[in-house]
Copies of this chain bind each other. A is one copy, B any other.
Amino acid sequence: LAVGYCQLPELLPVPGLRLGTTRAGVRYQDRRDLVIMELAAGARVAAVFTRNAFCAAPVVVARDHLARISPRYLLVNTGNANAGTGAQGEADARRCCAALAELGGCRSEQVLPFSTGVIGEPLPVKVIVEGLPAALASLSEQGWSEAAQGIMTTDTLPKGVSRVLELDGQRITVTGIAKGAGMIRPDMATMLAYVATDAPLAQPLLDRCLRSAVERSFNRITVDGDTSTNDACLLVATGEAGIPEIGETGSAYQALCGVVTEVCERLAQLLVRDAEGATKFVTVEVSQGRDAAECLQVAYTLGHSPLVKTALFASDPNWGRILAAVGRAGLPDLDLAGVEIHLNEVCIVRGGARAADYTEAAGQAAMNQDEICIRIALGRGGARERIWTCDLSHEYVRINAEYRS
């Protein structure tokens, strides 16, 4: 189960966005596996996609459609990632878009397809197309919770969050949902996130806001260092809030972008909390670096180290492993004498060796927590970064070794 209390909170509707969910039977029967999001005319969409060169057919098609015209529908299926399916996969994704466009009365390019699930199997187009009417019939601004369930694959719980802010005396909503339980599932293509607001945001600012929020959230988590073939994150601005368009990077933009970032951070944390086999939610904070890049280099070296991650799983305050990971992160001229490391509030390393006042009991008490912050001060500058990660458990190996059997 996920680390920490993560029950789905009330998800607030975003005027101008309706969501419909149904059980189409893509891979399993009796499971919500098809979600349609309908965008009001005039809504704007920003998107970021996986950087994996082996990207899935729906990613190729969604990128193509997005470059042509404003979207009216997002179509998500679980159970099948339509990845590793070559030219047939692209044709299949386009057939699904065309079918929804016909029912919805728009152009085929106004539908963006998203698929998540098993890699390498042909997409069951007929099953998806047959599910469309039921999904359309259930469209509602109240449909967020069901959609959060409808995009789940092996997630143990639906993930979503809402925030409100006030702009121009008007209440603005930001609601987001996400799915994914490893950076890439065994044969699964993983992370999808949809965030929407009713604030009217000019397209360049929408793109900028999404990139900035993603950089601080989904690009700051790691479970196993693997990157899915299907990752996508969308930000929709319906513009229905009845305030003037935000076209400049003034205080309204800053406030809105801050809340969007907060929503993305929460969703990113939920992915890590529900990661495969995770028993610990771990924040790695690296400060006093020369620049952000070297702080991240150290943070990810820890976040990807099997030895650090197994020590976390064992609740072992193993400062030698942490210090060794810092040492091999590849920082030029790193003077370990200037490095300080804390586990939560306990100083474990100072001056390149175990802190003089460190006691195993204090380290053990910190490590016994479910939520652990590893704080590393590099002692050579003013930059600071943090990432979220989890431990490496027997359950991770079991899930990933047994998934296909």
Contact = CB atoms under 8 A, between A and B. Distances in A.
Interface of A: 51-55, 83-86, 119-120, 182, 184, 186-187, 224-229, 304-307, 310-311, 313-314, 316, 318-321, 323-328, 331, 334, 336, 351-354, 392-394, 396-398, 400-402, 404-405
A296 to B, nearest CB: 15
Nearest to A89: B353
16 contacts: A53-B336, A86-B351, A120-B354, A184-B324, A186-B318, A187-B318, A225-B305, A227-B324, A227-B327, A227-B328, A306-B396, A310-B397, A311-B401, A316-B405, A394-B394, A397-B397
B393 A306 contact: no
B226 A320 contact: no
A54 B324 contact: yes
Nearest to A395: B397
A84 B392 CA distance: 25
A305 B223 CA distance: 11
Most buried by B among A318, A325, A398, A400: A400
Contact of A307 (B224, B321, B336, B398): B224
Contacts of A55: 327
A53 B306 contact: no
A51 B331 CA distance: 11
A334 B397 CA distance: 30
A336 B84 CA distance: 10
Nearest to A277: B397
Contacts of A401: 310-311, 313-314, 316, 393-394
Interface of A, helix, strand, loop or mixed by DSSP: loop
Given A53-B336, A397-B310, A398-B394, A304 B86 contact: no
Contacts of A54: 323-324, 326-328, 336, 352
A224 B310 CA distance: 11
A106 to B, nearest CB: 31
A324 B228 contact: yes
Nearest to A305: B226
A353 B394 contact: no
A353 B54 CA distance: 9
Contact of A400 (B83, B84, B225, B310): B310
Most buried by B among A119, A228, A306, A405: A306
Contacts of A305: 224-226
A88 to B, nearest CB: 9
Contact of A306 (B226, B320, B323, B352): B226
A44 to B, nearest CB: 30
Contacts of A402: 314
B53 A186 contact: no
B405 A327 contact: no
Given A306-B392, A314-B405, A326-B54, A186 B321 contact: yes
Given A84-B323, A229-B327, A394-B401, 18 more contacts: A52-B324, A52-B327, A53-B328, A84-B354, A119-B324, A120-B320, A120-B354, A184-B324, A186-B321, A224-B306, A224-B307, A226-B325, A228-B324, A307-B400, A314-B404, A314-B405, A316-B404, A318-B404
B52 A84 contact: no
